[in-house]
Structure 1
Amino acid sequence: MKRIKYILAFSALFMAGCKSVLDVKPKGNYTTGNYWRNQSDAVDGVTGIYNVLLEEDYTGFNEFVFDNCSDDQVRGGDHDYDAAIEDYSYDASTYSVKVGWRWKYETINRANNVLIYVPKITDIDPAIKNRCLGEAHFFRAFAYWRLLLIYGEAPMVTEDDVVKSNYNKPKVSADQLRAQIETDLLAAADQLPESYGDGDKGRVSKGTAWGLLCKLYMNWEKLDKAIEVGNKVITNANYKLAPRYADNFSVATGNNSEMLLAVQTVDGSGYSDFITYHAPRNWNGWSFFYPTKGLVDEFEAGDPRKNICIMQPGDQVNIGTGIATYNAAASWTGYHYKKFCAWKPSGGLDYSLKTPLMRSADIYLLVAEAKIRLNGPGAGDAEIKAIRQRASATLPAVTNAGMKELMHERRVELCGENERQQDLLRWDKAKLVDIVALNAKPKLAYDGSVVTRGGAPRKFTRPKNYFFPMPQTEIDRSKGTLIQNPNY
């Protein structure tokens, strides 16, 4: 988004000159009391919420570490503490458990400020005011959604708490979090536009709110409601599937109708670490996420998504300055995610590639799942067919599909997009899979050997490992107000 680009470019200049900042005459002193004056302030304030998504310890990297618990990938890189996430030996002091807490509440704080002050602005177009409020409601819901998935229970701070400076609050139950998320998403869906012009591509829309609401209802086991709201996405042309699967992972076409939510980046400004963490170390990346043989073998013969998603030994990869051969030695498993990599013709990673956080394809498959679980095999065939035909018209037709076929389709369509572990947890709670047995199996490298780091069988303990512990630093800071999650 252009405004994000300009604001971040200014931020970069400011940081570059910070040594001499005291030599510059201050241009203004902004507080919540004198900032929220007009439409420009409102739009820039909302842009500040989007900017949090760029953070390395949030959706720039750390949120995706939690999917290392799944059977689809193993950790790479040099963060030894991430091993504790992968093998369920973490505790309340583990770095990856605690580091993202701050940015979720930063998102909530910024959203609350918009919801408090924007309604008081009179020098603003009513449609822009509504949009700003809808964006704030959505992002507050998104932050609580991530807290719900990771911790199960968490403190809830709303506008009234900010006005009263009531920040040291006890956690609320999962159902209370879900109820707040639902309220915010319904408000967002009411206030947000269905679509945007080119200048505002990447902003959240009604479809974004409906999509997250569908995911919430699946987590809540409200399958009828998931179908109802999910259909608002998949029957709306504004959120239609991109013509090609690869369009979702291309610099030129990333902001397409299917991309309900993505981290917006522009090469040269608006940097996110996401691509760096995924790309091979010898090709400008840091090599932190490695797909497993189990995931790669899940793709059917002739499914073009495999070559779009995965780098495997012998593949010829365009790294911008030329064609390079991928070697198994680049990874502990012999694989990398190709779908999250892009290079500039002049060399180096292209940071204009968007980070996908929610796609319409996800919602198609959630609607299919809900229909199958309510009405039996075959009930979700139309949605599964749409996903498969978009991938390739030559893929075998699936008829009378049950949960086995649905699980397969979600695994290959959404691989690496931070959905697999949450799918397994949801299915285990519904007694559709046995997550304990899945974790007791080793993760394999490309040659069939057990991955040397992160591949050993792991012990999943119900219900403890459904959620992570709350950060001990936050419990200590609360001076007894926060109580640790059960089993920790």
Structure 2
Amino acid sequence: MKKILYTLLLSCLLISSCDVEVTNPNDLEVKIFWKTEADAQSGLNAVYNMFYKPGLYTRWIWFRYDLASDEAFSSSPWLELADWTRFNYANYNFWEGNAWTYRDSYEAIYRANQVLHYTPDITFGNETEKTYVLGQAYFLRALHYYNLALLWGSENNSLAIVLEPSSPGDTPEGHNVTEVWQQVKDDLASAINMLPASWDDTNKGRATIGAAKALRAKCLMQQHEWEAAKQELEWLVTGEGSQYYGLANNFKDNFTHLAENNIESVFELQYSDAHKAPAGDGDFDIDPNLGQNRAQFFGPPGIGWTDGEARSWLVDEFKSELNNDGEYDIRLKTSLFYEGMDVDFADNDRMYSRDMGAWQQDNYIGRVFIRKYASDYYRDYEDYHNPINIRLIRYADVMLMYAECLANTTSGSLNEAVDLVNEIRARVNMPELAVNHPEAVADKTAFLKRLQIERSLELCHEGQRWADLKRWGLFDTSAGLNELKQRDSDFNNFVIGRHSSLPIPSNEIDNNAGLQQNPNY
């Protein structure tokens, strides 16, 4: 057989008219795909499929957003992994800490680009369906550029903006973060004009107008475009979209598999434990893992890998106020595992299979563990198939964003901003701001400072804090950095002008002369 193949190849080299074409029957090629409405829908589903990749929301992106913030840290025995949450970057190509998330972000963009490039030429039975496909692709591409801008964006031309299906040899030019933000805004403007306000039950988890407006507001807020962000959020809070959203009655309903896609969900990532072993994480696995892994990586010792854990100041902050019945904030019970949790709350004396005696063990003493999205409420273990949906954008987040915009604009009402925060506090039976924080209801500057704590109490370990700290300028001044150091000793390693952005993986810089490394790397 080898001799026959060698003869065939040699003949092709000698006879210019010979045209041998080999097609893998298991692969669909572009020239035979992207022909039908079903192809377009499958291509779009492939973009959503990126939510199941370890470089993104199933695992590693939380190390960048949660553990690098002042809310959490890593004491992993895997030294290089832990170093990447405390701003000690040696190998810029470190796969789990940097390059995997960067790579998967651009892979998701590549998939979205295919949908946006080929779908306009496909005939649909209903053109509205085509519009919806394109709108979702614009939203998803914007989401991944949003992450790239937050994590790697700088004033240098360090990030490629790719808007067409790419080839392996392409070397796109680099763009600064302002240009990336503009691309996010443009994509989301298109998405808003193309998406429905809601989906039926069979399409839960798909992007909507509300999701696009909320994400566009996040983008605008990072650039301090407060008035424009406020206008986007008005649709969800006081406008037409308000009919679709509200606060769930029970705070914990946002973190279990029992009340998913509820009224508080603005954009929710859909996970399940349907495909267990031998399901894998690879790009081409036939039965990919559809669960999220973060709880396995953040689980307490003996349950998970404990590669991430919470900062203890959060417990103190939760306990700094009592609710209207003289008890602790119920969000503390849902958010954290900590010593004394059984004393502070009834029916709170188990961590999966472990009782409170665990806090006497050397590997538990003095530590606080992340509870959000943990499955301890119905089973005594974690694994790589946690089925709990990630609520990537919650309506409570939208309300707090809108309050921030109101306080940052001359047209905004401080009273309205306070009312929004009070509504969120009322859900968990906490007193109004005026009771314990009278300065926050009298002055916009004081309100904005209090809002920094309110956002953490409501949203801790939901991937919001890194963007918050960056937007509030705490990375940019000695005063801001000193504040962070008081809460998180890892910030003693933080260098202003450097660590607010991650280094671009070295391989990307080496292979593309059009990209610049970020400042001070």
TM-score norm. by structure 1 comes to 0.84
Match of 2:261 in 1: 255
The residue that corresponds to 1:294 in the other structure is 313
Relative to structure 1, is the Cα distance of residues 69 and 326 closer, same or farther in structure 2, using a 3 angstrom cutoff?
farther
Structure 1 residue 205: Cα displacement: 0.9
Query: Could you give the per-residue CA deviations for residues 141-188 of structure 1, whole angstroms, max 9, x where no partner exists?
Result: 0111001001114100002xx379883112111111111101100111
In structure 1, how many angstroms separate the alpha carbons of the residues matched to 2:227 and 2:474? 18
Mapping 1:76-87, distance limit 5 Å: 76-87=75-86
Taking the aligned partners of 2:219 and 2:31, their CA distance within structure 1 comes to 35
1:355 offset after TM fit, Å?
A: 1.9
CA distance in 2, matches of 1:107, 1:79: 28
1:156 paired with 2:129, answer no
Check conservation: 1:388, 1:395, Cα contact below 8 A. Answer: yes
Q: Does 2:502 align with 1:471?
A: no
Q: Which runs of 5+ in 2 are unaligned?
A: 1-23, 276-289, 323-327, 343-347, 435-440
Give matches, 1:51-130, under 5 Å.
Answer: 51-66=49-64, 67-91=66-90, 92-95=92-95, 96-130=97-131
Deviation, 1:424, is 1.6
1:487 maps to what in 2?
520
Are residues 1:144 and 2:145 paired?
A: yes
Q: In 2, distance between residues paired with 1:258 and 1:386?
A: 13
- Aligned partners of 1:459, 1:44: CA distance in 2, in Å? 45
Deviations 1:287-336 (A, max 9, x none): 2221111111111333111111111124335667x784473345475221
What one-letter code is carried by the residue in structure 2 that aligns with 1:403? L
Partner residue, 1:13: none
1:240 alignment counterpart = 246
Q: Distance in 2 between matches of 1:441 and 1:308?
A: 25
Provide the rounded CA distance (Å) in 1 between the counterparts of 2:122 and 2:258.
Answer: 37
The answer to whether the Cα contact below 8 Å between 1:71 and 1:294 also exists between their aligned partners in 2 is no
Partner letter of residue 368 of structure 2?
Y
Given the alignment, which residue of 388, 408, 429 partners 1:373?
Answer: 408
The 1-side partners of 2:368 and 2:236 are apart by 34
Which of 16, 26, 32 is matched with 1:34 structurally? 32
Amino acid at match of 1:427: W
Contact 1:278–1:336 (8 Å) recurs in 2: yes
Give per-residue Cα distances to partners, 1:431-488, cap 9 Å, x unaligned.
8993320343364xxxxxxxxxxx466132222222111110111122x222211211
How far is 1:209 from its partner?
Answer: 0.4
- In our comparison, the structure showing a higher alpha carbon Rg is 2
CA separation of 1:76/1:237 partners in 2, compared to 1, >3 Å: closer, same or farther? farther
Deviations 1:273-299 (A, max 9, x none): 12212222423x222221111111111
Contact 2:475 2:496 (8 Å CA) reproduced: no
Unaligned runs of at least 5 residues, structure 1 = 1-25, 444-454
Residue type of the alignment partner of 2:87: Y
Q: Is the 8 A contact 2:124 2:130 kept in 1?
A: no
Q: Which amino acid aligns with 2:129?
A: I
Q: Which of 373, 386, 397 matches 1:340?
A: 373
How far residue 414 of structure 1 moved from its aligned partner, in angstroms, is 0.6
Q: Is 1:309 matched with 2:335? A: yes
Separation in structure 2 between the aligned mates of residue 29 and residue 68 of structure 1, nearest angstrom? 39
Of 203-212 and 427-436, the range deviating more from structure 2: 427-436
Would you say the 8 A contact 1:178–1:216 is kept in 2? yes
From 42, 56, 65, the counterpart of 1:44: 42
C-alpha spacing 1:206/1:157, structure 2 compared with 1 (3 Å): same
Q: Distance in 2 between matches of 1:344 and 1:471?
A: 39
Partner SS, residue 79 of structure 2:
coil
1:415 — aligned with what?
460
2:258 is aligned with what amino acid?
A: A
Conserved? CA contact 2:476–2:497, under 8 Å: no
CA contact (8 A) 2:67 2:85 kept: yes
Output the CA distance in 1 between the equivalents of 2:477 and 2:317: 18
Distance 1:144 1:326 in 2: 46
Say whether the 8 Å CA contact 1:36–1:42 is kept in structure 2: yes
Listed as ranges, the matches of 1:390-409 within 5 Å are 390-392=427-429, 394-398=430-434, 399-400=441-442, 402-409=447-454
The CA distance in 1 between the partners of 2:473 and 2:76, in whole Å, is 30
Deviation at 1:369, TM superposition (A): 1.1
What percentage of residue pairs aligned between the two structures are identical? 26
Q: Relative to 1, partners in 2 of residues 1:397 and 1:471: Cα closer, same or farther, differing over 3 Å?
A: same
- Is the Cα–Cα contact under 8 Å of residues 87 and 490 in structure 2 kept in the other structure? no
TM-score (norm 2): 0.79
Partner residue of 1:133?
Answer: 134
2:67/2:309 contact within 8 Å kept = no
Equivalent residue in structure 2 for 1:206, among 209, 221, 234: 209
Contact 1:37-1:121 within 8 A present in 2 as well? yes
